[in-house]
Amino acid sequence: MSGELSIKGLNVSYGPVEALHDVSFDVPGGQIAALVGSNGAGKSTVLKSICGLVTPTDGTISVGGETVGPRPGDALKRGVAMSPEGRRLFARLSVEENLQMGAYTISDAKASREMLERVYGYFPRLRERHRQMAGSLSGGEQQMAAIGRALMAQPKLLLLDEPSLGIAPIIVAELGKIITEINRDLGMTVLLVEQNANMALSLAETGIVLETGQVTMTGTGRELLDSPAIRSAYLGI
Ligand code: ATP
């Protein structure tokens, strides 16, 4: 599975508002990368650009060496799946139906059953609640279901938008461990967007800092965690 991500010279505007300016970074295949930055820095816009949900005015995005065009279906064809901020589950469908929706492009039923078992292995709580309506899950459980649904597409590149948002600290730590396991077991490249810079950079081999639409720093997760500028701006130290 080779899901390396390469972004070059990306510019995105929402009408007169320039959200991304000349954003370039690479994530080697099989790595966990963390994209961190404060509110409105443009993190979600990077993910939406990769998924074809916004159209860049300039720049290129490639996954596994192949260019991803600015249409929503394109990213899926190239093996990209996203767990969006706010989870966006189908509230009136069961947990298992939501998970199965993630596999709608997978024609191999056996592979889908195996992935469902894996998802239940990572998130036993979802197995226990597989018949429950997704809308009645707790915030943390909905987050697990959203990640599980993205995994069901068997992506090469998994995009996670703010998985720790609104989740109890103890579950954030558990989630971090599971993201590391998924990356290790499945060899999937993971791009993790987080305001929780500490959690994200602790997991990541590559860290990218975005400020007002521009990349201001890149390094290993460790280097960024140790950087005085990052410590005072994002870690409150
Ligand atoms: P947060 O952590 O708060 O979710 P973010 O880093 O993900 O922020 P984005 O959501 O990418 O930031 O937003 C980047 C900038 O683009 C912000 O100034 C935001 O107000 C603006 N923006 C985002 N979406 C739209 C839109 N649909 N229309 C107009 N402006 C937008």
Cβ atoms of 155 and 163 closer than 8 Å: no
Is ipTM over 0.95? no
Give ligand 1 pocket residues (Cβ under 6 A): 14, 17, 19, 37, 39-45, 195
Going from the Cα of 17 to the center of ligand 1, the distance in angstroms, rounded, reads 9
Rounded distance, CA 193 to CA 40, Å? 12
Which whole-number Å values give the CA distances from 175 to 21, 157, 163, 190, 237, in the listed order?
A: 32, 18, 8, 13, 24
Q: Residue 219's CB: how many other CB atoms inside 10 A? A: 17
Kindly state the tokens that stand for 93.
């469908």
The structural domains of the chain, with segments of one domain joined by +, span 1-79+157-236, 88-154
Q: What angle do CA 33, 205, 171 make, to 5 degrees?
A: 70
Can you give the pTM of this predicted structure? Answer: 0.92
Going from the Cα of 44 to the center of ligand 1, the distance in angstroms, rounded, reads 7
- In DSSP terms, 210 is beta-bridged to 215
- Residue 35's closest CA among 158, 189, 218, 172? 218
- In DSSP terms, 83 is beta-bridged to 160
CATH of domain 1-79+157-236: 3.40.50.300
Per residue of the chain (237 residues), what is the pLDDT tens digit? 578 999 999 999 999 999 999 999 999 999 999 999 988 899 999 999 999 989 999 999 999 999 998 777 888 888 999 998 777 899 999 999 999 999 988 888 999 999 999 999 999 999 999 999 999 998 888 989 999 999 999 999 999 999 888 788 888 888 899 999 999 998 999 999 988 888 899 999 999 999 999 999 999 999 999 998 888 887 766
Rounded distance, CA 232 to CA 237, Å? 5
Atom of ligand 1 nearest to the CA of 161: 7
By most ligand atoms within 8 Å of CB, the mutation choice from 12, 35, 45, 53 for ligand 1 is: 45
Rounded distance, CA 83 to CA 79, Å? 14
For ligand 1, atom 9: residue with the closest CA:
42
